[in-house]
Amino acid sequence: MKQANMTSIEGRVVEEQVQLTLVELCQACSAEEEHVTAWVFEGVLEPAGDSPQDWRFGGESLRRARLALRLSRDLEINPPGVALALDLLDEIAALRARLQRVGVR
Amino acid sequence: MKFKDYYEILGVPRSATQDDVKHAYRKLARKYHPDVSKDADAEARFKELGEAYAVLKDPEKRAAYDQMGSQWKTGQDFQPPPGWDAGFEFSGADFGAGLGGDHSDFFEALFGRHAKSGPRPHMHAQGQDHHAKVLIDLADAYRGARRGISLRMPMLDAQGRVTMQERTLEVGIPKGIRAGQHLRLAGQGAPGLGGGAAGDLYLEIAFKPDPQFRADGRDVYVDLPLAPWEAALGTSVTAPTPEGQVQLTIPPGSAAGRQLRLKGRGIPGTPPGDLYVTLSIALPPADSEAAQEAYRAMGKAFDFNPRAQKKG
């Protein structure tokens, strides 16, 4: 086990300060462009811009794209299935948050 | 090393057909997928399922596994008999699919550690982006902080063997960060090849479990127990917040479960979150003659039947 020197660094909050191009998003989550394009088509990701070259993904897309990748790889779900699963997971998260607000853990 | 009964893990008999195995795996994988399940051990269960399926879905590996016999039970101490796989030819398909080839000792003793087969790197290429999850204190999100984090990364050494390299980074945690958000550290991923730029490192932020506070987005929740007379008559109490104590006015007639909102006392931001204080009522124990007398006096003083309201 090698120990590297301590470095001190500042990061950027992806969700608030970062926009990603198609190439950057693919690099960031090790996904194929073809998959990301299919997810955009299904509405899983909603980039600004008209054509894939102009797409700009908000930082929140990183979490969604990684989730989409894991679901499609681990459970062999196709893009429409991934879109449905993400919608349902969002809905469950919103319902859980509501339960928490009224004091149910 | 402990034996793993892959049939038991998938819940199928040893006579199961390949279709049965696939069906059982799919069903359990959906149930225990860590992105879907809230079970605390979902991730471990899912890895175990993936490993069992990697062996049983492949007729070659399944046959090799089967010939060790059915007398073994999960958790028994186990060493593979010498030459146990003699006569089996594995076609070398990638096991590493799924959760990145992170398998048990048992699996690796039987089937070996297989290098992940990724796309071949180009001679000149940007390094891969890496991801890691870090746990921070909720207070760090309130104030901002500098935190040392340790990361372990598999690296290929000069002989092409996989070794674990540990490195420590001191990272600035920005004020206002929330659970589930990512920090991008430029150039801290895998080194580039042939002069290519290094990849980035993405840190997914999660809060350490806290006995008092729980966060939901920017909002933070805390429970505050009150004595019955405090709740009934109203009072001013010292309440905890992640930023320290505040003085809180409890209105008279506060019922258990009532929430008081402290606007802007959640995680900072534009707009900041709120802090929700959920009131509960704790009864003092009737463990002395004086305490019992006080309860009896209360019983006399009130014409109160807590079950009467239900009928209405």
Residues B242, B175, single domain; the answer is: no
Cα separation, B105 vs B251, in Å, equals 60
What is the reported pTM? 0.73
In a domain, A49, yes or no: yes
Cα separation, A19 vs A33, in Å, equals 17
User: Is residue B97 less than 8 Å (CB to CB) from chain A?
Assistant: yes
In a domain, B305, yes or no: no
- DSSP assignment of B139-164 equals HHHHH-EEEEEEEEEEEE-TTS-EEE
The pair of structure tokens assigned to A100 is 């928490």
Cα separation, B281 vs B271, in Å, equals 32
Alpha carbon of B170: minimum distance to chain A alpha carbons (Å): 4
Contact flag B169-A7 (C-beta cutoff 8 Å): yes
* CATH code: domain of residue B142: 2.60.260.20
Instruction: Tell the burial category of B195 from Cβ atoms under 10 Å away from its Cβ (0-12, 13-18, 19+).
Output: exposed
> Which residue segment(s) compose the domain that B22 sits in?
6-111
Q: For residues B153, B179, B100 and B67, what is the CA-based torsion angle, rounded to 10 degrees?
A: 120
User: Can you list the pairs that A89-97 forms with residues at least 24 positions away whose Cβ atoms lie under 8 Å?
Assistant: A89/B35, A89/B36, A97/B216, A97/B217
Contact flag A11-B257 (C-beta cutoff 8 Å): no
Please say which residue of B207, B229, B262 terminates a domain: B207
Q: Residue B95: its pLDDT value, please?
A: 38
* Residues found in chain B: 312
Which residues, numbered 16 to 75 in chain B, qualify as contacts with chain A under a Cβ-Cβ cut-off of 8 Å?
Answer: 26, 29-30, 33, 35-36, 46, 50
CB atoms within 10 A of CB A27: 18
Residues B134, B98, single domain; the answer is: no
In a domain, A63, yes or no: yes
In a domain, B124, yes or no: no
Residues B144, B105, single domain; the answer is: no
CA atoms within 13 A on the CB side of B50: 24
How far is the CA of B263 from the CAs of B5, B55, B217, in angstroms?
A: 54, 55, 15
Q: Residue B197: its pLDDT value, please?
A: 87
**Contact present, B39 and B45 (Cβ < 8 Å):** yes
Cα separation, B209 vs A76, in Å, equals 33
More confident residue, A9 or B183: B183
The pair of structure tokens assigned to B146 is 């500098």
Structurally, chain A folds into a number of domains equal to: 1
Reported as a single tens digit per residue, the pLDDT across A10-38 is: 889 998 889 999 999 999 988 999 999 99
> Which residue segment(s) compose the domain that A20 sits in?
15-101
Residues B191, B259, single domain; the answer is: no
Q: Residue B104: its pLDDT value, please?
A: 76
Q: Residue A52: its pLDDT value, please?
A: 93
More confident residue, B91 or A64: A64
CB atoms within 10 A of CB B267: 24
Secondary structure element (H or E) that encloses residue B278, with its range: strand B275-281
In a domain, A3, yes or no: no
Chain B interface, mutation test: which of A1, A3, A10, most B Cβ atoms within 10 Å? A10
In a domain, B293, yes or no: no
Whether residue A97 is predicted with pLDDT greater than 90 in this model: the reply is: no
Residues B227, B192, single domain; the answer is: no
Chain B interface, mutation test: which of A8, A26, A74, most B Cβ atoms within 10 Å? A74
Please say which residue of B177, B207, B237 terminates a domain: B207
Instruction: Tell the burial category of B6 from Cβ atoms under 10 Å away from its Cβ (0-12, 13-18, 19+).
Output: buried
In a domain, B195, yes or no: yes
Q: Residue A1: its pLDDT value, please?
A: 46
Q: By C-alpha distance, which of A92, A103, A59, A5 is closest to B167?
A: A5
* Distance from the Cα of residue B138 to its chain's centroid: 16
**Chain B residues touching residue A57 (CB < 8 angstroms):** none
List average pLDDT for each run of 10 residues in chain B, which is 312 residues long.
87 92 92 88 90 89 80 68 59 40 71 50 71 91 90 73 80 93 90 84 91 92 95 95 93 93 93 94 94 95 83 53
* CATH code: domain of residue A65: 1.10.1660.10
Residues B102, B195, single domain; the answer is: no
Structurally, chain B folds into a number of domains equal to: 3
Alpha carbon of A46: minimum distance to chain B alpha carbons (Å): 18
Residues B175, B233, single domain; the answer is: no
Three-state secondary structure string covering B20-84: HHHHHHHHHHHHHCCCCCCCCCHHHHHHHHHHHHHHHCCHHHHHHHHCCCCCCCCCCECCCCCCC
* Cross-chain CB nearest to A10 (options B35, B129, B172): B172
Q: By C-alpha distance, which of A20, A99, A95, A98 is closest to A63?
A: A20
Q: For residues B97, B101, B105 and B109, what is the CA-based torsion angle, rounded to 10 degrees?
A: 70
Residues B52, B102, single domain; the answer is: yes
In a domain, A7, yes or no: no
In a domain, A9, yes or no: no
In a domain, A54, yes or no: yes
Q: By C-alpha distance, which of A52, A63, A54, A49 is closest to A16?
A: A63
* CATH code: domain of residue B106: 1.10.287.110
If you search the block for the tokens 């002069």, which residue do you land on?
B195
In a domain, B303, yes or no: no
Residues B62, B107, single domain; the answer is: yes
